[in-house]
Amino acid sequence: MKNEYIPQLSTIREVIRHTALEYTFRMEYKGEVKPGQFFEISIPKYGEAPISVSGIGEDTVDFTIRRVGKVTNEVFESYAGEQLFIRGPYGNGFDIENYRDRELVIIAGGTGVSPVRGIIQYFAQHPEEAVSTTLIAGFKSPEDVLFKEDFEFWKKHINVIKTVDKAPEDYEGPIGMVTKYIPDLKFKNPKQAVFVCVGPPVMIRFTIAEIKKLGIEDEQIWTSYERKMCCGLGKCGHCRINEKYVCLDGPVFNYAEAKNLMD
């Protein structure tokens, strides 16, 4: 019987630098993975950190990591050819079937682009499988933009609004919060529209408030609550909200359920 607590060694195939603080680690992994799921990445003597899947390849999985603490600081000392411990995937992830043949809008803020990157990539590669796909992605500044090469590909296949909170005077491109661009969204059939919203809690709250002004129902919205996920197995209780365990029942929730999860 497999012990779910025991991690496996994974070799880093490639390291992609996005900003001074955010890198993507492409690591060896064989198995089924869904966008929105997460793994526990660990280093002996330093601990574990839950990291969302930001890409799924052939026998590889991507983790886009921000250098913010003891474990992630140590991870940044590991580069291509070296190894890290991983265990997972955990959580439910995003189900592509919920968005197929619909008018899909993905709204993400900052590192929130990472867990939805798999959905964006799928519909950019298969645009015919959705009535339409729109991405609204917001970053603090042009220097904080992640996945620059991906954005160039996505713009060729889906509608993309990449906005920044602030920029130099000579900057060419959208400026402002993601909420600025929601009122301009138009749908052939609003009842068939679906939204995915991921980012900081404050951004999610104000974004969903704007989405609701369009007449969108709670059941048409999905979000991700990535909070205090430690064991990944629903045993430690750190991520429990009411009767839900984010690591098991989430981190992806339909908003009809998510709106009642009071932390």
Domain residue ranges of the chain, discontinuous segments joined by +: 8-90, 96-259
Determine the CATH number of domain 8-90. Answer: 2.40.30.10
Question: Starting at the edge strand that comes first in sequence, how are the strands of the sheet with 103-109 ordered?
Answer: 159-164, 132-139, 103-109, 193-198, 221-224, 252-254
The CATH fold of domain 96-259: Rossmann fold (3.40.50)
> Is 197 known to sit in a ligand binding site?
no
Cα of 82 vs its chain's centroid, Å: 25
Enter the tokens of residue 182: 């929601």
Q: 152-174 pLDDT, tens per residue?
A: 999 999 999 999 999 988 898 99
**Residue 3: pLDDT band by 50, 70, 90 thresholds?**
confident
* 230 annotated among ligand-binding-site residues: no
- CA–CA separation, 90 and 109 (whole Å): 22
The answer on whether 239 is annotated among ligand-binding residues is yes
pTM of the model: 0.92
pLDDT tens profile 58-101: 999 999 988 777 777 777 777 778 899 999 999 999 999 999 99
